[in-house]
Structure 1
């Protein structure tokens, strides 16, 4: 895919959603960190259902530590891998108190030292909380980048590195949110909604999905 086409893709995505953001609900950097840790292998909807109740009673590292493992696990038990996530969140809270005066650190190195925080989570925090032009590649973004031809790669890291290289600088801050939302609602895994896709004519996917007897491609820009 050439640079002109990539530029047009992000211009279109910006037209449809000028101010994209995460669908996770949070008020503070710490709440975002907890929500992102919980979101691994879970939907944002399930995380929001849990954190609404959790943050109403415990929204700081101190308060979550005070809950303890048993009480915390009850708030998040409907989320996948909740036992591991409970332990990771408590350990992270302890480190935030010990090393960072309860503040979320602002560097990748420090973030990745927190239990339950890998590269993807660190990228989300750096981008959404601190305005860094990072791109967190999840399953949606990995699929969109490969399927469209935007930034093909065989691994999550390869796709991230390619996106950081090829996404025009003016779009890099919001690219993560545009691509994840596009993958979540339009370019879905089993049945992409090509008939309502705003970038369908720019996408290089060979097996586009259109309803039968469709003569025209909706949303095609000319």
Structure 2
């Protein structure tokens, strides 16, 4: 497995390096995305494809009386996320589980918000996975997607060649898939210079 395959599913020593790189490398995008959303301090949040857990830490700051759950199908990512957020886990403010977004181990209508940072590129069936997010959200809940690649920059295609199973979507493709599973409203934000994209979809 090539080193960049660890962006899709971190494994072994290379995976441990990759999740640390992603924690720092995606921080500017994450802060930009967080500036677009408002949630209550006691919200129940799911970070889908939580990687190394940096965004779980940001959610914990934003929702001081809330509960944050992280899910990732990589054992390395789960371990790193648990290490990063160990204090909150001890306080029962946080839980991190290994699981697949295509069939998440959560009851219907559990979360006020689900976030997905730099991860939907690797989801095997966008509509099926979006359907799982929709199912797990409460009525009126928000699904936040943040991508560093908005599907309009041809230079980003090099990553799809290096990383098996990666697909970059543009705003229209994402919004069409969201509406097809039942999301009623979508709002999008973009940084055209950086090719960043943030989409908020309401159940």
* TM-score bucket of the superposed structures, by smaller chain: under 0.3
Higher helix share: 1
Higher strand share: 2
- TM-score scaled by length of structure 2: 0.27
Greater gyration radius: 1
